[in-house]
Amino acid sequence: MSENGINKSGWVIYPIGSKPKMGLAFLLGIQQYLTMFGATVIIPFIVGGAMQLPQEELALLISTMFFVSGIATLLQQSPLGNRLPIIQGGTFSFLGPMFAIVGMVGAQGLGWEVMIQQVSAAVMFASLFEIILGYTGLLGYIKRLISPLTIAPTIAMIGLALYGIGAPWMAGNWTVSLVTLISMILYSQVFSRKIKAFLLFPVLLAIITGWLVALLGTLFNLIPEGNPANLRSQLELIAAAKWISLRPALPFKWGFPQINSITIAGSLGMLAGYLGSMVARFSVTSTSSDFLKNPRTMSSAFSFDDVKSGIAS
């Protein structure tokens, strides 16, 4: 039994409907945040680099990405979502259409301001398609025709796609990277069998372990300046950064887009990105629902997921 009298299911400690204590929930939330941090940061880095955004605008784009991910995750837990414990982040399926929009704007000799305006407009217009698709419940009915043999390779491909992000970052300092990776494996697969803390917080504890190794290497000058694992410059950036800013929450902070042929073409291209993201989310939602014995029907789970994602976009 869980703390609230809800039956556990296999290795699931807190099934849907259970409520961990506030302090524990806060730590679990931090762990989820750190888990999705890398993939969420790299998307605005790639898009911002293509647009040649100034550093302060790139920082604002990253902040906006995290703010919107948080709002989308809250919607996930509201009546508009399917209430599965899934963090809502970015997806790489939109990069292709975004690059096409950036190229079309750049071909007209316009700057990054127009680029980001047109990308924003295309995302908003294409999101209407996802909202409508969610209300029809079409994906929920398609689920009946898809077996686990189809879902499993999709989940595997999502994980393998992240290799292109993680491996180059690990190469910055293999010592710290391998310490973190090995700690993660030991905490989640070995120590978790005996100690509940390692079962609940394997990612958080592994990141703390790697950070402590990097900190000691920095303090004792074992990690040279300029190395990604050297924390001295990173700590200076944290000290200089604004802790509170309302700009990420402001709509149309980069200006209101003009509706033209680029907007229409970009919106049509963005539909392909939405279809790709829906396939990936379809697999994640299905797997989570099966693991956690989601009380909602599978059809409604997918429909609510599409509506919520469209509104968040």
**Per-residue confidence (pLDDT) for residue 33, from 0 to 100:** 79
| CA-based nearest residue to 211, from 197, 234, 238, 229 | 229
Residue 155 confidence (pLDDT) above 50: yes
Could you give the CA distance from residue 8 to residue 11 in angstroms, rounded to a whole number? 8
DSSP 165-179: HHHHHHTT-HHHHHH
Over range 72-88, report the average pLDDT.
Answer: 74
> Hunting for tokens 């979502």 — which residue is that?
81
pLDDT class for 190, splitting at 50, 70, 90? very high
Could you give the CA distance from residue 19 to residue 35 in angstroms, rounded to a whole number? 21
Residue 85 confidence (pLDDT) above 80: no
12: helix, coil or strand?
A: strand
Q: In whole angstroms, how far apart are CA 150 and each of 84, 143, 153, 173, 276?
A: 21, 11, 6, 37, 15
DSSP 145-213: G--HHHHHHHHHHHHHHTHHHHHHHHTT-HHHHHHHHHHHHHHHHTGGGT-HHHHH-HHHHHHHHHHHH
pLDDT class for 142, splitting at 50, 70, 90? low
**Per-residue confidence (pLDDT) for residue 23, from 0 to 100:** 85
CB atoms within 10 A of CB 198: 18
Q: Where are the domains of the chain?
A: 22-168+270-312
- Cβ-contact 90, 40 below 8 angstroms: yes
Could you give the CA distance from residue 280 to residue 161 in angstroms, rounded to a whole number? 12
Write the single-letter amino acid at 303. Answer: S
Could you give the CA distance from residue 46 to residue 65 in angstroms, rounded to a whole number? 13
Average pLDDT in the chain: 78
Residues composing the chain: 313
Is the whole-model pTM more than 0.95? no
Residue 213 confidence (pLDDT) above 90: yes
**Per-residue confidence (pLDDT) for residue 148, from 0 to 100:** 65
Q: What is residue 1's DSSP assignment?
A: -
**Per-residue confidence (pLDDT) for residue 210, from 0 to 100:** 93
Tokens (6 digits) for 298:
């599978």
- Cβ-contact 257, 118 below 8 angstroms: yes
Residue 114 confidence (pLDDT) above 80: yes
* Neighbouring residues of 285: CB distance < 8 A, sequence distance ≥ 6: 82, 84, 86, 301, 302, 305
